[in-house]
Amino acid sequence: MLSKALGMGLIIWSLIIPAGYAETIHLLTENFPPLNMSADEKNFARGNNVTGITTDIVRLMFKRANIDYRVTLRFPWKRVYDTALKQKNYGVFSTSRTPEREALFQWVGPLAEEYWVLLTKADSPITINSLSDAKPWRVGGYKDDALTKFLTSRGISVLEAALLQY
């Protein structure tokens, strides 16, 4: 079994926010209940229609800092992530903080912890004691997700699926 605890944080590309910052910060996220999700279970939401545990934390941080911000939930994740990388005054939450991503962003957090695990059905004959034990198998993963990239980089075959709706 693979278990890896990761801090999930808010990242803001090329931006250290000074006191009294006047520009609006655009914060992007995805459906990832219960951390962040749309109130109406759609793959697009703005403002108060974006809810969840980390969304509440992010709102409170920006309110306390007196910084104007907008929250948008979009799909797919790659679009959200790439926008935060390329656009001034854009950030993304909740995302896995990995060594590969460390230098790409200004990190705030962690907002939460997540654990990466590999699971099989209870009656499965498959036994995995180390990551290398998973190499003969194809594992399901979320397209463009940090865990999918981690597994692929270690020689694990991952069947990637786009997550359309929870």
- Residue 96 maps to which CATH number? 3.40.190
Q: Interior CA angle at 153 toward 152 and 159, to 5°?
A: 5
For residue 41, tell me if it sits in a domain.
yes
Quick one: average pLDDT of 137-165?
Answer: 88
pLDDT tens per residue across span 8-51: 555 554 444 555 567 899 999 999 899 999 999 899 999 999 99
Residue 144 inside a domain? The answer is no
Could you tell me which residues come within 8 angstroms of residue 105 by beta carbon, excluding any fewer than 6 positions away?
Answer: 11, 12, 13, 84
Residue 7: predicted pLDDT: 54
Asked if residue 160 belongs to a domain, the reply is: no
**What pTM, to 2 d.p., does this model score?**
0.80
Report the pLDDT value the prediction gives residue 3, as an integer from 0 to 100: 43
Tell me the residue range of the domain where 99 lies. 4-116
Residue 4 pLDDT exceeds 90: no
Q: Is residue 158 part of a domain?
A: no
Please check whether residue 163 lies inside any domain of the structure.
Answer: no
